[in-house]
Structure 1
Amino acid sequence: MSDKFGRNNLCWCGSGRKYKKCHAFINEQMEIYRLKGFEVPDQKLLKTKQQIEGIRESGRRNIAILDFIENFVVDGAATEELDRLIYEKTKELRGIPADLHYEGYPKSVCISINDVVCHGIPAKHILLKNGDIVNIDVSTIYNGFFSDSSRMFCVGSVSPQKQKLVDIAKECLDMGLAQVKPWGFLGDVGQAVNNHAEKNGYTVVREIGGHGIGLEFHEEPWVSHVTKQGTGMLLVPGLVFTVEPMINMGISKIVTDANDNWTIRTADGKPSAQWEKTVLVTEAGYEVLAY
């Protein structure tokens, strides 16, 4: 990298600084870790200043959509109506729902209720009811940049057991995020998530995790939430990915609905909860780009 750009040339990332004052140190550190046998991100995964701003703008819209839909998550609401509202709000914000037609997915958002872990397809006949816990997972394209985040919503009065699951799932996310720092490892995130879930008697879904994002909907790296500290990809400034642990009240095993090949449920029928944020690794720690 240094031979190609020259230490006194402007850095490739568009920061306006000379390479030696910008990414030279980062590239040198990555090479040190690579030679020690650690997994380091490909250069193309490190977002430039311009790309980060584009993802940030997409994330602002994603946040606004989740803020908007909160007042409509009520007893009796049809999930198909929530999908329509999210589609219209996304268009109003000059965005595109990233979910719509992605690998054949038929709706603009994933809405997952109680034992549905993720990828719940909105439908006219699926109505929210008092006591439900609901994950709404919104993904937005704006000016070609992608963002992705989800939140849990409680419909009316939920049981103490469901409320605790929702709360602990949020804590798992926050503890995972606290491990996002330059020159740490993705495995640090998964270790923190899994430790907290197990401490509270819950399990973490193993087969589905977070993902890189920004220029595409799903990029490298894949983010497991059951990994070990000090393992996995090196966390480098400019890396953007989602942290989105799925926490089950019962066993971690999941099943896919054979009728639609999208809806994923807990194998034992017990509730699951998930929160998701898009995060950027910075030189000082991390920045949440969508929540």
Structure 2
Amino acid sequence: MSVSIKTEHEIELMREAGHLLEKVHDGLIPYIKPGVSTKEIDRIGEQMIRDLGCIPNFLNYGGFPASFCISLNDEVVHGIPSEEKIIQEGDLVKIDAGLIYKGYHSDAARTYAVGEVSPQARKLMDVTRECFFEGLKAARAGNHLNDISKAIGAHAAKYHYGIVRDLVGHGIGTHLHEDPQIPNFPQKRRGVRLMPGMTLAVEPMINLGRADVAWLDDEWTVVTMDGSLSAHYENTILITDGDPEILTLTK
């Protein structure tokens, strides 16, 4: 395993990549409403990325046919945007996006409630976001990778939620996916020691029901096996000499 340590110059580029992606996520919020197709959000978001002088890093990545992963309700991740998928009142909408700025990648995901959602759905969203911030507390130089995984998993376990095991977070930099992999559940090994200059995409994926997932016939969309709701929350972070820095969430 080779975990890259970014130079100060690289960190500045990663910061800007993260900041620009945050702008895109924020800019999409008004469009996440009933009657809008997921394809329309993808089109608008891709244009935002290009207008910022950046490249959508998901487009054609491993053959993925869109610039955004947009997943509804029981879809966990990697939903393919479609004209036929129309957002409805009460949906949980997960938007996962990334961009390339001067050769450096950023990656972040958000879960949005459309109008009135069930209390269970709202709680799942909130706890999934909390899981990220619990993991963040452990993302300090001198700790090990498994400290992040344990913190995320322990928080989700308090609510008896299903912690997706088939998909994990990852390192990020000049490539969208770099070493190390970052599970959202405890490991037997401590994993790599965290060092200043590491950039990581930490992304809890939490199900209201069981942890089991399946891939649809499109070979991309991941859904919960039991049909339960799922939530996803992700940021690109930087390990520093002190508190970790969130590159895709500045306010």
| Range class of TM-score, shorter chain | over 0.9
For residue 50 of structure 1, give the secondary structure of its aligned residue in structure 2.
helix
The structure 2 residue matched to 1:192, chosen from 151, 158, 170, is 151
For residue 247 of structure 2, give the secondary structure of its aligned residue in structure 1.
strand
Preserved CA contact (<8 Å) 1:184 1:230:
no
The structure 1 residue matched to 2:232, chosen from 266, 270, 274, is 274
Q: Distance in 2 between matches of 1:239 and 1:140?
A: 18
Letter in 1 for 2:19: R
The structure 1 residue matched to 2:210, chosen from 243, 248, 251, is 251
Q: Which residue in 2 is equivalent to 1:20?
A: none
The count of aligned residue pairs is 249
Q: TM-score, normalised by structure 2?
A: 0.97
Please identify runs of 4+ aligned residues in structure 1 that moved more than 2 A: none
* Structure 1 residue 230 displacement after superposition: 7.2
Q: Which residue in 2 is equivalent to 1:17?
A: none
Q: TM-score, normalised by structure 1?
A: 0.84
Residues 85-124 of structure 1: CA deviation (Å, up to 9, x unaligned): 0011001100110000111000000001110000000000
Q: Percent identity?
A: 39
For residue 222 of structure 1, give the secondary structure of its aligned residue in structure 2.
strand
Alignment of 1:139-178 (within 5 A): 139-178=98-137
Higher relative contact order (CA 8 A, sep 6+): 2
For residue 86 of structure 2, give the secondary structure of its aligned residue in structure 1.
coil
Uncovered stretches (5+) of structure 2, i.e. residues with no partner:
none
Preserved CA contact (<8 Å) 1:97 1:140:
yes
For residue 255 of structure 1, give the secondary structure of its aligned residue in structure 2.
strand
Uncovered stretches (5+) of structure 1, i.e. residues with no partner:
1-40
* Structure 1 residue 183 displacement after superposition: 0.5
Q: Which residue in 1 is equivalent to 2:7?
A: 48
* Structure 1 residue 285 displacement after superposition: 2.6
The structure 1 residue matched to 2:28, chosen from 45, 69, 85, is 69
For residue 41 of structure 2, give the secondary structure of its aligned residue in structure 1.
helix
* Structure 1 residue 200 displacement after superposition: 0.9
- In angstroms, what is the RMSD of aligned CA positions? 1.2
Q: Distance in 2 between matches of 1:75 and 1:247?
A: 24
**For the structure 1 residues 229 and 52, does the alpha-carbon distance in structure 2 shift closer, same or farther, using more than 3 Å as the test?**
farther
Alignment of 1:116-265 (within 5 A): 116-228=75-187, 231-258=190-217, 260-265=218-223
- Structure number, greater radius of gyration: 1
Residues 204-258 of structure 1: CA deviation (Å, up to 9, x unaligned): 1011011110111110001111124971111011111111010001110100012
For residue 290 of structure 1, give the secondary structure of its aligned residue in structure 2.
coil
